[in-house]
Amino acid sequence: MNPDLPQDHPRNIIPELCRLYYSNGWMPGSGGSLSIKYGEEIYITPSGVQKERIQPEDLFVQTVEGEDISGPPSKKALRKSQCSPVFLNIYRLKKPGAVFHLHSKSSVMATLLAEDNTVHLSNLQMIKGIRKWSTGENHKFTDDVSIPIIDNTHREDELVDGMTKAMDNYPDTCAVLVRGHGIYAWGQTWEQTKLVCESYDYLFDIMLQLRTAGVREIRHT
Amino acid sequence: MNPDLPQDHPRNIIPELCRLYYSNGWMPGSGGSLSIKYGEEIYITPSGVQKERIQPEDLFVQTVEGEDISGPPSKKALRKSQCSPVFLNIYRLKKPGAVFHLHSKSSVMATLLAEDNTVHLSNLQMIKGIRKWSTGENHKFTDDVSIPIIDNTHREDELVDGMTKAMDNYPDTCAVLVRGHGIYAWGQTWEQTKLVCESYDYLFDIMLQLRTAGVREIRHT
Amino acid sequence: MNPDLPQDHPRNIIPELCRLYYSNGWMPGSGGSLSIKYGEEIYITPSGVQKERIQPEDLFVQTVEGEDISGPPSKKALRKSQCSPVFLNIYRLKKPGAVFHLHSKSSVMATLLAEDNTVHLSNLQMIKGIRKWSTGENHKFTDDVSIPIIDNTHREDELVDGMTKAMDNYPDTCAVLVRGHGIYAWGQTWEQTKLVCESYDYLFDIMLQLRTAGVREIRHT
Amino acid sequence: MNPDLPQDHPRNIIPELCRLYYSNGWMPGSGGSLSIKYGEEIYITPSGVQKERIQPEDLFVQTVEGEDISGPPSKKALRKSQCSPVFLNIYRLKKPGAVFHLHSKSSVMATLLAEDNTVHLSNLQMIKGIRKWSTGENHKFTDDVSIPIIDNTHREDELVDGMTKAMDNYPDTCAVLVRGHGIYAWGQTWEQTKLVCESYDYLFDIMLQLRTAGVREIRHT
């Protein structure tokens, strides 16, 4: 925590969320990355480090167009996240206030259990926590919420094309899953992005538990 | 914690329980709501916020009849919980000291595994932690404890009718489940309500684990 | 923590372990009870309270023969644990330094999956953490460790007879399981009792995971 | 924490990691052991103690060749870990900066689910967190990562021969599994070793979840 900055500055919020998500198992083994837009600046976690030990000064700051504004102290020898181009592409196309990339097991399992390239969710109350991005309204719990799955690539920045297509084909979604890899999710603010990540994780886990218990369908009544 | 209030004042207890239940996974993504009766006042969490960050001054206070007594500072722009009418209906019909509404996965899974509109529990010791509401005694572990499941509705306040019917039909219950949604549970005090929520969560999870392991029946001897 | 007492006094250790076991899910909804022998005094948790909030002065103190030495301040209106006679019976028959009673789900599931009245464990390294009570040596990992299961009873103190028979029939065991209820486990010291409880929980959970994954046998090579 | 030593000295890092791994369930019931190389000194946890209570002065210090450099205060009566010869053998053969031995359930389950003496991982992004030890590069996510499983032995130091053969036969691996027992894993530094342990745990758990859900194959596209 840097007490000279506002409590909700990305330099304070991102390290706090990293600790939370590490303890959740959503950022294991240096996996995952977080970004928050603050004015015209995008704050992004560095690459390949223990996420739960990130400090306020460790973040990279870029414009939406990818220009570098500032970075961590050079003596720390931190590297920019390979996720940066993926994040910036989403900021340009969707205009969110934050984009998170998580390696949560529930999201990976969702990609491995799906029979086609879409995860379908319905008849669960927590669906109401998910925004229908094209309209700005939240979903009804009876909606069929569809989240696209794209193929994984060897380099993170190679995901950009698949992501763009998925966002075009699923204009309502506020998340894209990457097969065997994890989730990219966004919201209007960091708070909304945090809430939507919790909702997806919860919903994917319910789907997994149902599958494991041998239940194939969620009854409405 | 507001040190000017008694330690067990709802303004101190509710934020503490919200942090606990968030870390438990019972209040994910702003889901769930807590209420405690204190004298003639009902304290209720606000709607749609990160439950683990609720402060003592964020609570709405109403009478059992639904009159507003006080609310959070207006600059916080908090909204009253959609659960309020459901809570107040339970306070009027059952005279409890607290009512909690949780989105625990175990309660949702219980509603999705049940073959009719009732969850049955028997031959488990933790049943003894559940009060037979009509008599005020606790259950024997060999009792058949039946918890009603009602259909979900698009708005939380539309649950009131289904809840009332379920409470009429199951006079012994101190909980009603909502399909694909969660649980409403109550007790004579907030401590008893906390204990009964832990008992249900534990029991539903045992039922799920048994189902997943392929066991259909709990032997008594 | 009472700083006027040694750090490892039961009045300090028991509340600390209660908080740990509550957060583990081993003492949910006021379930479970802990006891430690200190000189000629047995310290025992009170009945029916939130275990994670127990204070040093809340313990009941008895002799092995069941005489009351002291109790909590009377204004707290705490009740003696129904487990006391079960604990004291074990202290008389087995001469341990501590006896813990836990409602861990893994122990309940072990009783519900067993086909007869015994849980069998073998070919797992953590077996080495379990003492063969009759000889005082620890088990080899290839031993067949057998833990007896007794029927549950309506009152906790009615378990005494079944416990005595199980301890007679299984002289090597340092634990007795109660069907649908939980585990009683003991060790030479509180530290050993803590370790053996962790070993059993781990082993029972491995057995459950194997069963759920469809594996029936643990290969040695 | 010993404030007179650098923050990343093994006497500070090892107790901190022990507390983390105890709370993770990777060091239950005194199981598991950690070692870090610092200059020419190897710091190793003592045997048979509650790992979460280890203090900076409790570590044994040896050379790679097994000479004792220093040990805990003798009044503490701590014993050297039976893992020491296994650790030192790995330091001599693989030249890592740290070797961890964990009893994580995911690693034990991986040994019990494998049909031969190898665990295979592929098409999962977290594979990229695992070093191909023979080349020093990290794996591609499409690689077939193979981790050897060796038979358990009655004494920990009897594992040395099986470990040496496994390391010879699998020159790329940075971990060896022991059937029904746990994992030995290493990295260039303690940070890398921590990351690789998190990656393996995550991957083994995904494999278990897939198996339990009835999925036998991970699709690439």
Contact B199 C29 (CB under 8 A): yes
Cβ atoms of residues C151 and C179 within 8 Å: yes
- Chain A residues within an 8 Å CB radius of D24: none
Residue C178 C-alpha, separation from nearest chain B C-alpha, in angstroms: 9
Predicted confidence at residue A153, as pLDDT, reads 97
* pLDDT (tens digit per residue) in C7-32: 999 999 999 999 999 999 999 999 99
The answer to the question of residue D153 being in a domain is yes
Contact D208 C213 (CB under 8 A): yes
Cβ atoms of residues D180 and A179 within 8 Å: no
Contact A179 D126 (CB under 8 A): no
Asked if C208 reaches chain D (Cβ–Cβ under 8 Å), the answer is: no
In chain C, the N- to C-terminal Cα span, in Å, equals 48
Residue B137 C-alpha, separation from nearest chain A C-alpha, in angstroms: 32
Report DSSP state, residue D114: -
Assigned token pair, B19: 């942090």
Calculate mean pLDDT across residues D9-15. Answer: 97
Assigned token pair, D96: 């890592």
Asked if B135 reaches chain C (Cβ–Cβ under 8 Å), the answer is: no
The answer to the question of residue A4 being in a domain is no
Asked if B108 reaches chain A (Cβ–Cβ under 8 Å), the answer is: yes
Please name the member of A141, A206, A220 whose beta carbon is closest to the beta carbon of B109.
A206
Predicted confidence at residue A216, as pLDDT, reads 80
Asked if A213 reaches chain B (Cβ–Cβ under 8 Å), the answer is: yes
Cβ atoms of residues A210 and D212 within 8 Å: no
Residue of D202, D204, D205, D220 best to disrupt the A interface, most CBs of A under 10 A? D202
Please name the member of D28, D50, D208 whose beta carbon is closest to the beta carbon of C209.
D208
E-assigned strands of B45-156? 60-62, 68-70, 98-102, 118-121, 131-132, 137-138, 145-150
CA geometry: angle D150, D156, D161, nearest 5 deg = 50
Predicted confidence at residue D182, as pLDDT, reads 98
Amino acid code (one letter) for A22: Y
Calculate mean pLDDT across residues B64-71. Answer: 97
Amino acid code (one letter) for A46: P
Distance between CA B37 and CA B58 in Å, rounded? 16
Predicted confidence at residue C115, as pLDDT, reads 87
Residue partners of B218: CB distance under 8 A and separation at least 6: B122, B123, B124, B210, C112, C180
Asked if A129 reaches chain B (Cβ–Cβ under 8 Å), the answer is: yes
Smallest CA–CA distance from A32 into chain D, residue: D126
Distance between CA D67 and CA C216 in Å, rounded? 45
- Chain B residues within an 8 Å CB radius of C152: 123, 125, 141, 220
Q: Residue D214 CB: number of other CB atoms within 10 A?
A: 12
Please name the member of D140, D206, D220 whose beta carbon is closest to the beta carbon of A108.
D206
**Which chains have at least 3 CB atom pairs separated by less than 8 Å from chain D?**
A, C
Asked if A49 reaches chain B (Cβ–Cβ under 8 Å), the answer is: no
Assigned token pair, A107: 């999201």
The single residue listed with the structure tokens 């939406």 is A64
Calculate mean pLDDT across residues D110-124. Answer: 95
Contact A181 D125 (CB under 8 A): yes
Predicted confidence at residue C151, as pLDDT, reads 97
Assigned token pair, A216: 């194939």
Q: Which domain holds residue C50?
A: 10-212
Predicted confidence at residue A172, as pLDDT, reads 97
Residue of A105, A195, A197, A212 best to disrupt the B interface, most CBs of B under 10 A? A195
Predicted confidence at residue C217, as pLDDT, reads 80
Extract the residue ranges of chain A whose pLDDT is less than 70: 220
Q: Indicate the pLDDT class of residue B15, thresholds 50, 70 and 90.
A: very high
pLDDT at D220 over 80: no
Asked if C19 reaches chain B (Cβ–Cβ under 8 Å), the answer is: no
Smallest CA–CA distance from B190 into chain C, residue: C50
CA D97 centroid distance within chain: 12
* pLDDT (tens digit per residue) in D138-174: 999 999 999 999 999 999 999 999 999 999 999 999 9
Predicted confidence at residue A217, as pLDDT, reads 81
The answer to the question of residue C205 being in a domain is yes
B49 versus D17: the higher-pLDDT residue is D17
Predicted confidence at residue C219, as pLDDT, reads 74
Assigned token pair, D137: 């590069």
The answer to the question of residue D219 being in a domain is no
Contact D141 A154 (CB under 8 A): yes
- Chain A residues within an 8 Å CB radius of B103: 125-126, 202
**How many distinct structural domains can be found in chain A?**
1
Q: At what angle do helices A10-24 and A190-212 cross, to 10 degrees?
A: 10
Smallest CA–CA distance from A141 into chain B, residue: B154
Please name the member of C29, C112, C181 whose beta carbon is closest to the beta carbon of B210.
C112
Report DSSP state, residue B140: P
Distance between CA C28 and CA C103 in Å, rounded? 7
Residue partners of A21: CB distance under 8 A and separation at least 6: A27, A32, A34, A51, A102
Cβ atoms of residues A111 and A169 within 8 Å: no
Predicted confidence at residue D48, as pLDDT, reads 85
Predicted confidence at residue D193, as pLDDT, reads 98
Asked if B55 reaches chain A (Cβ–Cβ under 8 Å), the answer is: no
Please name the member of C125, C205, C215 whose beta carbon is closest to the beta carbon of D152.
C125
Asked if B172 reaches chain C (Cβ–Cβ under 8 Å), the answer is: no
Report DSSP state, residue D218: -
Asked if D191 reaches chain A (Cβ–Cβ under 8 Å), the answer is: yes
The answer to the question of residue C217 being in a domain is no
Cβ atoms of residues B208 and A209 within 8 Å: yes
Asked if A124 reaches chain B (Cβ–Cβ under 8 Å), the answer is: yes
Q: Across-strand partners of C99? A: C35, C186
Please name the member of B129, B142, B218 whose beta carbon is closest to the beta carbon of C31.
B129
The answer to the question of residue C2 being in a domain is no
* pLDDT (tens digit per residue) in C114-131: 988 999 999 999 999 999
The answer to the question of residue D220 being in a domain is no
Reduced to 3 states (helix: H, G, I; strand: E, B; else coil), residue A23 is: helix
pLDDT above 90 covers a percentage of chain B that reads 94
Calculate mean pLDDT across residues B104-130. Answer: 96
CATH number at residue D152: 3.40.225.10
The pairing of strands D175-178 and D145-150 is parallel
pLDDT above 90 covers a percentage of chain D that reads 94
Extract the residue ranges of chain C whose pLDDT is less than 70: 220
Q: Residue D134 CB: number of other CB atoms within 10 A?
A: 11
* pLDDT (tens digit per residue) in D175-209: 999 999 999 999 999 999 999 999 999 999 999 99
pLDDT at B95 over 90: yes
Cβ atoms of residues B1 and B10 within 8 Å: no
Calculate mean pLDDT across residues B192-197. Answer: 97
Contact D218 A180 (CB under 8 A): yes
Asked if A180 reaches chain D (Cβ–Cβ under 8 Å), the answer is: yes
Contact C50 B191 (CB under 8 A): yes
Q: Indicate the pLDDT class of residue B21, thresholds 50, 70 and 90.
A: very high
Residue D1 C-alpha, separation from nearest chain C C-alpha, in angstroms: 19
The answer to the question of residue A174 being in a domain is yes
Whether the ipTM is more than 0.90: the answer is yes
Asked if D154 reaches chain C (Cβ–Cβ under 8 Å), the answer is: yes
Smallest CA–CA distance from A156 into chain D, residue: D125
Chain pair C-D, CB pairs under 8 angstroms: 74
Report DSSP state, residue B46: B
pLDDT at B218 over 90: no
Asked if B206 reaches chain A (Cβ–Cβ under 8 Å), the answer is: no
Asked if D94 reaches chain C (Cβ–Cβ under 8 Å), the answer is: no
Contact C113 B196 (CB under 8 A): no
